[in-house]
Chains A and B, each alone.
Chain A
């Protein structure tokens, strides 16, 4: 992909550009996106759930103004689901419809060997691009203007699939036995995300740039909240982010993610809150905690947590 519009001139421009699409990010993220573009390398994004890994790919597509093609990984995902499939039905239908034609072609030859030789001249018809059903990976290679290819939760796929990805990720080409090698028209921009349910192979990691997105620092998260909930009172926003950061330090089954911070902020706005207090917090805990045990654990320490959030933002 070429940088025609100068969007990728400097790291700061990338940062600004992502911001304009609504993705507020750290230098680490902007630098990695910038590098991946210039080095034409895939980016492997890791981090806890809900820090905006998938969102990054979506917003990058928006920023670059190219389509986003998404491949969701799961156990048992294979080539026919990820790369291409032959349209069996269509092949079958055509061969039925064309039966008469085939008869004619073969009819003239009386000899069996002769008929087969004749058929050989036509054999590639049924295995031509018209009968090919492209799946996400092939689609991404075929996009004329390039695309953002998002391979989501690659850790859920089997190791075999990971090995298969290697060819695509290093050369941006795939071989289809019946047709030949398909090369990318424009190299797509690839994001892989992983929740680290298992460790990925060294080979895959070597080929990718690696980006670890942690939960954002309070300042960054406040900026994110302000961006998504523009009418939020300043005091509430500060207290809320501080509170969430305190909650994340607890040992919970699932700590609140960024999107849940935003949900909570929206909920509080609806309730016309100007600042945090204990009652309001207790009533709205379920907007950012999704397990009964977690709610109970936070409820127990609610007094301390709210107090701390209020004190630190006073």
Chain B
């Protein structure tokens, strides 16, 4: 059973449940106590010791049902021994004997043994399926079986060729079976590595080129990123809170000890989480970048104090309320569809967007605000209105410009990037998840 449990744990890990060594020991001990008698108790035992969150429980359920299904071996072999040969010829490999006898259980076991001997668990990519199939067949001594069949045919005679035909049929069925088995095991063991390859790819893919089928994974990655960032920077902030001794408060807190100082009170440093105002260009070329950037920004409640968001294309509009009323994922979706939002989607015009902002919303920017502008600065040869941007830049604490284009493209054609760049404190390329991560680093480093 230990081996089975081990394999099960490997498959769980493969499916994305991180099982530690101590947890697998717990599982083994738990099983030893609760016994293998009842399937539902075995399942509860493993669930309690191995899967440690609601999401993991779901994966666990799926894995458990698949792993302990035992349906993979239908009977392809001829039923029962017909010729009743008690004495097996010496040069026939053991698998041949099992085929002749129609010993399905024996064949299944032999396949599993062979799979273990060639270390099928290490299968990672679907291109490896062929090589593993042939290795298993080799371990089952298929070549020897072939030679034996050839010999039987050469020998001739009714009995011998009937046996040869039966063996040949069995052989084909066996190959089929091994192929299916490898397929199944690949499903069980290789999921994780495929995931990992995709994940690595997603970190560096340009968000504008991201396919829609990867959105869910991307959301997941961003959640992970957000969680990591929140954890890292909340700790830092807490440390910053421990300041000098607050003598007045300490005295007051210790009055009831007769003025003897037992409890200490510390001066609290003000936390410096930035207020963020973000202006997003939501023209079509930008929409995916905007989506993921906002998704991240609104998750960062430990890093960022408050976010006000504006979107613009031909005109500018505040959309903070969308994020206040609906969950983040839904809100970004609403922005994409533009549902219920009064925004004019014509040619992108940075000049008029800045004009709208400085005239209507400039009060949003104070000396504590970090203003982020997310856009490609392609203004369709309209008035760049950089004097308005200058006004914003002077009023805010920091002005960060995120441009999804690569730097060599800045300033080419109708891009006003070169002109705007001079006014910004930080200018960053922002086209992949990795860039978004860098943005967090910049955000917390308040001058």
Contacts and interface: CB of A to CB of B under 8 A. Distances in A.
A35 B262 contact: no
Nearest to B231: A159
Interface stretch (A24-32, A57-65, A226-234): A24-32
A199 B224 CA distance: 11
A32 B44 contact: yes
Contacts of B20: 206
Contacts of A88: 257, 262
A236 B66 CA distance: 39
Q: Is the interface of B mostly helix, strand, loop or mixed?
A: helix
Contacts of B413: none
B257 A39 contact: no
A206 B45 CA distance: 15
Nearest to A214: B54
B41 A11 contact: yes
Contacts, number: 67
B257 A211 contact: no
A199 B34 CA distance: 29
A205 interface: yes
A210 interface: yes
Contacts of A172: none
Interface string B210-244: 00000000000000000100010001000000000
Contact of B33 (A27, A35, A196): A35
B367 interface: no
Given A27-B40, A35-B34, A41-B26, A46 B54 contact: yes
Interface in B37-68: 40-41, 44-45, 47-49, 51-54, 57
Interface centre among B18, B51, B54, by most chain A C-beta atoms within 10 angstroms, is B54
A205 B44 contact: no
Interface in A52-102: 88-89, 92
A212 interface: yes
B346 interface: no
B264 to A, nearest CB: 12
B158 interface: no
A196 B54 CA distance: 10
A288 interface: no
Interface centre among B18, B40, B51, B53, by most chain A C-beta atoms within 10 angstroms, is B53
Contact of A28 (B23, B47, B54, B235): B47
A34 to B, nearest CB: 7
B434 interface: no
A38 interface: yes
B23 A39 contact: no
Given A28-B44, A92-B258, A205 B34 contact: no
Nearest to A80: B263
Contact of B41 (A27, A39, A89, A208): A27
B267 interface: no
Given A31-B34, A35-B48, A35-B49, A209 B40 contact: no
B337 interface: no
A209 B44 contact: no
Contacts of B41: 11, 27, 31
B299 to A, nearest CB: 13
B398 to A, nearest CB: 29
Q: How large is the interface on A (under 10, 10 to 19, 20 to 34, 35 or more residues)?
A: 20 to 34
Contact of A210 (B33, B48, B257, B260): B48
A104 B44 CA distance: 68
Given A39-B26, A89-B256, A206-B22, A27 B44 contact: yes
Contacts of A159: 231, 235
B29 interface: yes
B76 interface: no
Q: Is the interface of A mostly helix, strand, loop or mixed?
A: helix
Contact of B52 (A28, A35, A205): A205
Contacts of B22: 206-207
B34 A11 contact: yes
Nearest to B256: A89
Contacts of B256: 89
Contacts of B258: 92
Contacts of B47: 28, 210
Contacts of A202: 18
Nearest to B57: A212
Given A31-B41, A211-B48, A92 B260 contact: yes
Nearest to B49: A209
A209 B257 contact: no
Contacts of A44: 52
A136 B92 CA distance: 73
Interface in A14-40: 27-28, 30-32, 34-35, 38-39
B45 A210 contact: no
Contacts of A43: 48
Contact of B257 (A34, A89, A196, A206): A89
A79 to B, nearest CB: 13
B30 interface: yes
A35 B26 CA distance: 10
Interface centre among A11, A30, A89, by most chain B C-beta atoms within 10 angstroms, is A11
Nearest to B262: A88
Nearest to B54: A212
A291 to B, nearest CB: 15
Given A46-B54, A209-B49, A38 B33 contact: yes
A35 B40 contact: no
Contacts of B231: 159
A113 B34 CA distance: 65
Contact of B53 (A11, A39, A205): A205
B52 A210 contact: yes
Interface string B255-278: 011101010000000000000000
Contacts of A207: 22
A159 B52 CA distance: 18
Contacts of A34: 34
Contacts of A205: 52-53
Interface of A: 11, 27-28, 30-32, 34-35, 38-39, 41, 43-44, 46, 88-89, 92, 159, 196, 199, 202, 205-212
Q: Which 5 A-B pairs have the closest CB atoms?
A: A31-B44, A205-B52, A210-B52, A32-B48, A209-B48
17 contacts: A27-B41, A27-B44, A28-B48, A31-B34, A31-B41, A31-B48, A35-B48, A38-B33, A89-B256, A89-B257, A92-B257, A92-B260, A199-B227, A202-B18, A205-B52, A206-B22, A206-B52
Given A28-B48, A35-B45, A209-B49, 11 more contacts: A27-B44, A32-B48, A38-B33, A41-B26, A88-B262, A89-B257, A159-B235, A196-B54, A207-B22, A210-B48, A210-B51
Interface of B: 18, 20, 22-23, 26, 29-30, 33-34, 40-41, 44-45, 47-49, 51-54, 57, 227, 231, 235, 256-258, 260, 262
